Structure 1
Amino acid sequence: MLQGREEELKNNILSLDLLPLAEREIEVGVFSKVSYALLIFAVAILLSMLSIVPATVSFTGAILVYVFSGILPVRDLYKNIDWPVIVLLGAMIPLSNALQSTGSTTLIADQVVSMTQGLPTWSIIALIMVITMCLSDIINNAATALIMAPISVGIAISMGVNMDPFLMSVAVGASCAFLTPIGHQCNALILGPGGYRFGDYWRMGLPLEIIIVAAGTPLILHFWPL
């Protein structure tokens, strides 16, 4: 982020060998409001972590406090909501529920277990992570997690093992969308200014995803054993 006179910014960007991104409105917050907002957010996280109240209640309460205390104007509340993501998740949640209620997740899980019969458990966890990464490269990562989470739970139940490492492999895989510019907003943000092409992403992203699978699988099994 750069701040300065408009006529000097272009020269400074060129001298620093930086690539300018799209201009956006950024307001410098008042320190007292920023500290108050951080305190409210920390309290909401603490209440959720300690299971005092559900996460939905604690964070909704934090937003209401922001609005009524004047930290967040109501017009900014609506303006800053990413509505396409909300609509996508609203559509994917019923799909995830339908997969479970129709028995599709159990069917898919049983097929995966039968196809990987005889393979070590760590390889199945790695496979789930890879599949989740591939899905996350073409659809929203939260939507990917909604689809893959019940399937991974079904696989764990079919194998009779702890489901935690399977769910963590989904969480890690859904967060690693490096192969396409549409996998994450940050990928798309640098596409134009950087002069990148679609194929440039997998050249760097593929080795990175391989490293994550190779390092993440044993770490998941270490912290969340079967």
Structure 2
Amino acid sequence: VLSSAMLLTAFGVLPVATAFFTAAILMILFGALSLREAYDAVDWPILVMLGALIPVSEAMRTTGGADLIAGWLSQLASTLPAYGALALIMVAVLAVTPFLNNAATVLVMAPIAATFAGQLGYKPDAFLMAVAVGAACDFLTPIGHQCNTLVMGPGGYRFGDYWRLGLPLSILVLVLGVPLILLVWPLV
């Protein structure tokens, strides 16, 4: 079922959400997963948080909040080359994602990044990819990503342990991520 959903998505037959929702329903119908197990597997606090942040993201976009923040970033980036502007947005995302969930960070930062790119005269693709990469690479705290939280107890880690290894990893993501993003998604 999983392979079929992946293939249908990969070949563009179905959108991602439709393919994987159908796969989940089929898993229940085939008896591979009980309805109770499916219900228990849902991470309700994350779902509620994302549901609450979708209107916040939309409000930031429609009220001009995204324009305001993007304007501040644009002033900072006005003297930077293109790769510096892209690095700036990635640094902003890397700074926000340790304190929000990674998906919530994308909801909040994507409109800012798109507006920022437009104000600088660039296509938004690279900037949106920088948001995705930066939000996915939270290594600085145990609360920004559920995987970080899950290993904290069994690994015997303390809160302060994360930034010691996470900071060099974040710098590596920035140093490698920006040129690779520009290689695939040109700004103009």
Q: Which residue of 2 aligns with 1:72?
A: 33
Match of 2:87 in 1: 126
Match of 1:148 in 2: 109
Query: Does 1:110 find its partner at 2:71?
Result: yes
Match of 1:159 in 2: 120
Deviations along 1:125-156, one digit per CA (max 9) or x if unpaired, are 11111111121111100000111111111111
Q: Residue 54 of structure 1: CA displacement?
A: 2.8
SS state of the match for residue 70, structure 2?
helix
Bigger Rg, which one: 1
TM-score (norm 2): 0.92
Secondary structure of the residue aligned to 2:144 is coil
Q: Which residue of the other structure, out of 132, 137, 144, is the alignment partner of 1:171? A: 132
* Matched residue, 1:204: 165
1:43 is displaced (CA, Å) by: 2.4
Give the CA deviation at 1:118: 1.7
Please list every run of 5 or more consecutive structure 1 residues that lacks an aligned counterpart in the other structure. Answer: 1-39
Distance 1:168 1:133 in 2: 13
Distance 2:34 2:155 in 1: 35
What's the TM-score, normalizing by structure 1? 0.78
Large movers: runs of 4+ above 6 Å? none
- State the identity %: 49
The structure carrying a bigger helix percent of its residues is 2
Give 3-state SS (helix, strand or coil) of 1:190's partner.
Answer: helix
Aligned twin of 1:192:
153
Are the counterparts in 1 of residues 90 and 130 from structure 2 also a CA contact under 8 Å?
yes
Of 135, 139, 142, 2:96 maps to 135
| More displaced stretch, 186-195 vs 101-110 | 186-195
List runs of 5+ in structure 2 lacking aligned partners. Answer: none
The alignment's C-alpha RMSD in Å is 1.5
SS in 1 for 2:33: coil
What residue identity is the alignment partner of 1:184?
H
- Number of equivalenced pairs: 187
